[in-house]
Amino acid sequence: MARFTPDQKRIAVLLLHAPKTAEELNRQLGIPFDELNESLKHMVRLKLLRLEGYPQRYHLADAVVDAVKRRKEIQEKDPFDLRLKATLEAKGVEEAFLRKQMAGIEAGLRKEKNFTVYDVIRAEPIKDGSHYTAYLDVNLSIKDFSSIVRFMYFYGPTSVEVLKPAKITIPMDDLQDALMEMADMIQAYNNEMLKSMAKDELASFSKSLYSPKG
């Protein structure tokens, strides 16, 4: 499903209750009429809305209504409070391989016991020079801080937005587990990186780490 702008979200929420004319939407939402018309035209082009009847009223597309209902059903059963939106990026020299890779990432996210996936929007691969780039926009909830650390390390999102809650309290054992997991991950990464470095590169790297700054 396409990504809504803030105004389009307000329009969609109102249309969930009943179809509306442009005048009714303008009156109830207070969006300037020219901006409202642009949003409505864009949503019709994306097949998120359809026009029916006389006077013409805007209806939400069945796919949008189904997606909203599905999200509500997931939310009712979701045991986790931390809600995130994230963008995951992958690159590959072959389009078919990249598509398979993105499908694998999505499958991996859905199997994680400490994640609840609400939506995954998979963008079509785009050719960028000699390789292809693809993105996943993910809307999910996560059990705790330790699980966020796992998500950040293993899935490497290029952007993350916290949707809720506005404030959190992290229990000490959760924080302790997360810090230990971060330490293990960093050590494992460093060990693998150091294995691939030549002796002179390693000496130069060590010198840069421990030389005085400033």
CATH number of the structural domain spanning residue 115: 3.30.70
Alpha carbons 12 and 69: distance in angstroms, whole number:
13
> What total number of domains does the chain contain?
3
Tell me which of 65, 86, 112 is where a domain ends. 65
In the three-class reduction of DSSP (H, G, I as helix; E, B as strand; rest coil), residue 58 is classed as strand
Q: What is the pLDDT of residue 208?
A: 62
DSSP 114-156: TEEEEEEEEPPPEEETTEEEEEEEEEEEESSHHHHHHHHHHH-
Yes or no: say if 67 and 52 are a contact pair by the CB < 8 Å rule: no
Q: Which residue has the higher pLDDT, 199 or 56?
A: 56
- What pLDDT sits at residue 8? 87
Q: Which domain, by its residues, includes 162?
A: 78-167
Q: Do 107 and 82 have their domain in common?
A: yes
User: pTM for this one?
Assistant: 0.68
**Averaged over 9-37, what is the pLDDT?**
92
Does residue 134 sit within a domain? yes
Residue 202 clears pLDDT 60, i.e. is over it: no
pLDDT score for 1? 47
Q: Are residues 87 and 161 in the same domain?
A: yes
Q: Could you tell me if residue 100 is inside a domain?
A: yes
Alpha-carbon distance 125 to 132, whole Å?
6
- Mean pLDDT, residues 137-156: 93
Q: Is the peptide bond before 212 cis (omega within 30 degrees of 0)?
A: no
**Phi/psi of residue 49, nearest 5 degrees:** -130, 160
Cβ atoms of 185 and 148 within 8 Å: the answer is no
How far is Cα 135 from Cα 125, in angstroms, rounded to an integer?
A: 8
Do 91 and 153 have their domain in common? yes
Largest Cα span, the chain? 78
Q: Quick one: which of 141, 157, 22 has its CA closest to 87?
A: 157
Residue 149 lies in a domain: yes
Most confident of 127-131, 132-136, 208-212: 132-136
In a domain, 1, yes or no: no
Lowest mean pLDDT segment, chosen from 8-22, 81-95, 136-150, 189-203: 189-203
Do 106 and 151 belong together in one domain? Answer: yes
* pLDDT, mean of residues 98-113: 93
Helix, strand, or coil (residue 183) = helix
Mean per-residue pLDDT for 63-75?
Answer: 85
Domain end position, chosen among 129, 146, 167: 167
Mean pLDDT over 95-117 rounds to 93
Residues 161 and 206 in one domain: no
CATH of the domain at 36: 1.10.10.10
Number of other CB atoms surrounding residue 64 within 10 Å = 21
pLDDT of residue 146: 93
119's tokens: 């939506």
